[in-house]
Structure 1
């Protein structure tokens, strides 16, 4: 089942934007090479190194690079420091801090981010993984709760907007969650931080359990919960460890996980999903010659 389209293509703070920002920062910190030549640089390594130096100074000045020091020895004069995990994927903070920079370096950093974002989007499109703005409504069981209702008819085109109401079961049983983790471990694809976690704080009178599995970006984890399955937002390792503690006792996790799954199956959560009617979609396809 799908809902959309949305304006996510204009939202830099997306999965693709976070990945692009990580690549920007890793390039500036010289942990990886840039996938593109930075703005106003040539393929000459000296021009790229000059840009990196300017970028480091700029990011230090706005507090993104912390604990900055000037190196001695073979790399005397080179600026070093660190970018905390929470900032590595924080697109909103990056864009906000750019406003505090001089226009020249501000524009070059933003152009670099956009150029790398284009590469990320191109790769996702080539691999058939690009989210085109259509939102998948995922669940192990999706049922139409009641007949569709027409809530609006456009006076000019005659196109209808129809409300569809679904019941969706997104829960994940203990057996399914354990199988996910076992599969990763058997394939040798997991990281040392993969596993089951327990919340450090109580919420609604109880602690909650989650399964964390490292995604395609190092240090960023997919979060699976008993009640809702895989969360839409991935979580940096620093945030994961700040909110949860890893649990090694399978007995404790299995009981807590299954209890939470059973409780959630008796509760109802509501969400509004706006969907356009097939009539409107068809009129667009017809106009486009599809």
Structure 2
């Protein structure tokens, strides 16, 4: 699992906008300064949610009166958050999940596109009420904000349909593996390859591309035997290639994503966690993940600052 999202930009398969491949966001809290960004509107979740009055009672009065949660999100990270076909609306898995959670609290989620490094600063300064942008939960962030666990991501491999090369990620010596430049998967493959050569077996050949779309194309064309990427990205590639690819092996090196909430608003964080728990209980949480082909990242608990 990559601990940093910040430096990698790739092209999504289904959208024209570029996106960061490495899941989970930067570990750094140094935002440098928030950049003004245009509001991208709110996406609609898979199903409208009834308000949970007990959870809604925990919402701060100012937010409850406004009826809206201002959400900072870097819409460059398909399928989790990206700009939709209309060229302005933020959409994606995280958007559907959080929109449904906000509805449980009797609120509308207003997603506003922002540069990733600026989002936490935007939350702590009051520009945004929350941040929803595939943030990895880590100790540095928990010192500044509350984080509500809602998803798990890790590394996941894909192969051509039917796995013609009989690829096993645990036995990858001698394979050609596609990977996107600047991702943690390069470190992973390098370590795996060293074990191969130390044991007298052939190295893993990394075919490195600048854009994830090219990595996926390399696999579809047979240029590589397999590809390795963050799990939401691999799942999305499998779905978008209409049966040309399939997942192989198990997700590994996983870590949780968290919703960013101001440090002084623990009640709001608890309410958001409760809303996700309610979605999990009703089955809507799983339905949304399945819609985005990411059910294998589901969690069953939604604690604050785990």
Please tell me the TM-score bracket, short chain as reference: under 0.3
Specify which structure has the bigger relative contact order, considering alpha-carbon pairs within 8 angstroms and separated by 6 or more residues. Answer: 2
Give the TM-score of the pair, scaled to structure 2. 0.25
Larger radius of gyration: 1
Q: Which has the higher strand share?
A: 2
Q: Which has the higher helix share?
A: 1
